[in-house]
Amino acid sequence: MSDVLKPGQTIGILGGGQLGRMLAMAAARLGFHTHIYEPGAAPAGEVAQNTTIAPYDDTDALEAFARSVDVVTYEFENVPTDALDRIEALVPFRPNRKALAVSQDRLTEKTYLQDIGLNVAPFAALDAGAPDAAALLAQALAEVGTPSILKTRRLGYDGKGQARIMGPHDGRAALDAMAGAEAVLEAFVEFDREISVIAARGMDNIIACFEPGENVHKDGILHTTTVPANIDADTRARAFGIAGTILAALDYVGVLGVELFQTRDGLIVNEIAPRVHNSGHWTEAGAVIDQFEQHIRAIAGWPLVDPVRHSDVVMTNLIGDDLAQVQGISGETGAKLHLYGKTDARPGRKMGHVTRVTGPAKDR
């Protein structure tokens, strides 16, 4: 089987949320079919040729899915290992398993990033379920310091599975918040801004990086991404270099999100996401190619596009009741609205985003 897919072939996507939906839409623009595999509700299924709703431990469903597609990718990191084993035995899987293994566990990720020569915040491992967890936390706090943040090693996102520790008096509550899970304690980093780089690597090893965006979070969830970020040319080049180092070390194929803190001492890697990323949604309105098509191109063996930015933009997430703003946004000149097909606007739930063009691209 050729590594290069032709229009009409089928891309399997693990996960049926908004990222899977946008990947399916991008695949359709290039003439590919898509098949979504999702254990629960699947907004992505509305724009895909086929959808399988089944748990990840359904061996028959997994194998039927794998046999129906020509390559498999994913929209989120936490796919069970057994499911990956079943799929990879039958069909190519891109990005590779190594990227998932690193990113699924915060401790593994931070250790890996250090090992390849990148800077991360001081950290320490902690088993929150151990009988002597309180003593272990006290020891970790002595090493890492306060303020700090205790995070579950797995499954946390958008501020979930995290507890701030401003001093020793917060230790008990932080441990309780972990509910006995394995955790990692991270030092708070004093930073000027958070930026992120959306970067891609093709099967020919060529790397292409989108312009860094500057991120602002609200209640632990990304609120806005502004492009260009307020950084100088040297910082921009270092950010690109960090993303390239990670992509090459992982032998990665596809789009990767890299979150970075800009500090007085340089750039520190906060975390990586081996997939298309929320902070890259601005590319739909601000660049000659969006992150979703770039990812589809990479995993299909097609050449990457130089992701030139043509506009300055601000991307804003629409969370929960922000959906009520849609009618007003829909009348704004220069506002590109993207809704995710979700009907239940719960607090903290991403319902869509809007990217506002603020002018033609200019250097900063």
Domain ranges of the chain: 10-93, 122-187, 193-360
Q: Higher model confidence: residue 159 or residue 165?
A: 165
Go through the chain and tell me how many residues it has.
Answer: 364
**Rg of the chain, C-alpha, whole Å:** 20
Please give the CATH topology (third level) of the domain spanning 193-360: D-amino Acid Aminotransferase; Chain A, domain 1 (3.30.470)
CATH 3.30.70.980 fits 122-187, yes or no: no
**pLDDT, tens only, 102-122:** 999 999 999 999 999 999 999
Percent of the chain, pLDDT > 90?
A: 86
**pLDDT at site 3:** 87
Mean local confidence (pLDDT), 286-315: 98
* Peptide bond just before 147 cis, omega within 30 deg: yes
**pLDDT, tens only, 51-105:** 999 999 999 999 999 999 999 999 988 899 899 999 999 999 999 999 999 999 9
Question: How confident is residue 157, by pLDDT bands cut at 50, 70 and 90?
Answer: low
For residue 310, what are the CA distances in angstroms to 124, 228, 231, 255? 42, 11, 18, 20
The answer to whether 25 and 47 are in contact (CB under 8 A) is yes
The pTM score is: 0.94
Non-local CB neighbours of 337 within 8 Å, separated by 6+ positions:
326, 329, 330, 352, 354
**pLDDT at site 78:** 86
**Residue 293 corresponds to which tokens in the numbers above?**
């098509």
**pLDDT, tens only, 18-36:** 999 999 999 999 999 999 9
Mean local confidence (pLDDT), 163-181: 90
**pLDDT, tens only, 288-297:** 999 999 999 9
Mean pLDDT over the full length of the chain = 94
**pLDDT, tens only, 205-251:** 999 999 999 999 998 899 999 999 999 999 999 999 999 999 999 99
Calpha distance 322→189 (Å, rounded): 30
**CATH architecture observed for domain 10-93:** 3-Layer(aba) Sandwich (3.40)
Question: How confident is residue 156, by pLDDT bands cut at 50, 70 and 90?
Answer: low
Question: How confident is residue 363, by pLDDT bands cut at 50, 70 and 90?
Answer: low
**pLDDT, tens only, 253-280:** 999 999 999 999 999 999 999 999 999 9
The answer to whether 5 and 295 are in contact (CB under 8 A) is no
One-letter amino acid for residue 316 of the chain? T
The answer to whether 15 and 44 are in contact (CB under 8 A) is yes
**pLDDT at site 158:** 57
Q: Higher model confidence: residue 175 or residue 158?
A: 175
